[in-house]
Every structure is written in structure tokens, then in C-alpha cells.
Amino acid sequence: MIAATDLIYAAALLGWIMLLSSLITKRLYGLWTSRGMAPMRAVYFNRKVIHILAGGLVALLLPLFSSWVVPVSMALLLSLFLYIPRRIGKLMYWFQTPDNAYEIHFTLSWALVVFLTWAVLGALNVGIAAISYMAFGDAATGIVRNALFGRRTKSWWGNLAMAAVSIPIGYIYVGPVGALAAAAASVVEHFEWPPIDDNITVPVVSLAIMVLPRLA
């Protein structure tokens, strides 16, 4: 049975995410572009804002929930919410782009990581760490690159920023293996094989490093 508190937490967090994605980031887009920022730069800054204040924040709050069912369902619902504008041709232009659907990769990866680490392995701390690399770590690298180069690109400076953020998180949640996984994820993030992006490779690689020793 689903706990009533889980539904309350989910409603509050979903409300916050809807406000963030539908209003706050739209206002930020308008503010930044009105001050001369290129629209695509504003889009990618907004993506990182959502990474931190939606995906990352909810990951840190996962221990509030009594089971994995409601958080995973919430992430799948958000995936649908992000897919519909693409389906009907009305993108939320302030953070979605027509050339990729990586924001949907993020929510689906989030759901899968929570399911695998909580429902299957009973190791939520590992899931929180993996999501944090994808949310906080990737946000750091995106912000640094955008600030330095003014566009979406890959640079090892961004990966250093990701490592600086992710390694302490990994150590706090999983110990030395978590720190190692964070370092590996920070390297892997540098590479993409479209349509496979870092929202897929970062959790896959970091989970493999943190989970395989537990299964040996």
C-alpha cells in the first residue's frame, strides 16, 4: 500500500517541478535573452537549473519516501509531460530543443536508477549518488562550458568542474568506490554517441562501478 505521506511529498515536489519548468525557467529565459544572451545559451543554462533544482533536489529528498513506487511513477509521469510537447509540435522553447530529447533521457534514467538501486538492490545511497553525478555534476560542467565558450560544447574544464562537485558527493554517499565512480563519470561525460548522451552514459558507468563489487 502506498503511504499517504508519499503522495503528499510527490504532490508538493511535482508542483514545484511544474512551477520551475513552466514558469520560473521561462522567466529566466526572457530575462537572460532580453539582456543579450543568445537564446541557445539561455536554453542550456535553464536545462542545468532544472537538473539541479528538480532532478538533483528530488534525489536528495528520496529518503523521505517509504518506497520506490511513488518517486519512480513521478519520474515516468514527468517523462510523459516532456514528451507531449514534442509529440504535438509545441516545444517548451525555453529549455527544449528540436534537435534532441535529452531532457527525456534524464527523467527516464532517473526512474531506472531509482528502481534498480532501491527496488532491486536495496541500496538507495548508490542511486542518490548516481543521480547526483547526472544532476549536480553534469550541471557544473554545463555551466562552466557555457560560461567559457557561450555554447553547448565539450571541454575538459567542464569535466574538471564536474569531478570537483561529484567526487565529494560520491564519497559521502558510497565511500571510496563512490568517489571512484564519480571520477569515471566525469571522464565519460566528455563523450557522446548520439542519440546516446551523458544522461545515459553517466549513470550506466557510475552504477557499474558502484554495483559490481556488491555482486561479486
Mean pLDDT of 82-100: 96
Q: Which three cell numbers stand for residue 21?
A: 519548468
Across the range 98-118, mean pLDDT stands at 96
pLDDT value for 216: 67
Identity (one letter) of the amino acid at 76?
Answer: L
Domain that holds residue 102: 4-215
Rounded CA-CA distance 137/157 in Å is 13
- pTM for the model stands at 0.95
Structural domain count of the chain: 1
Amino acid type, 197: D
Q: Tens digits of per-residue pLDDT, 179-216? A: 999 999 999 999 988 889 999 999 999 999 999 887 76
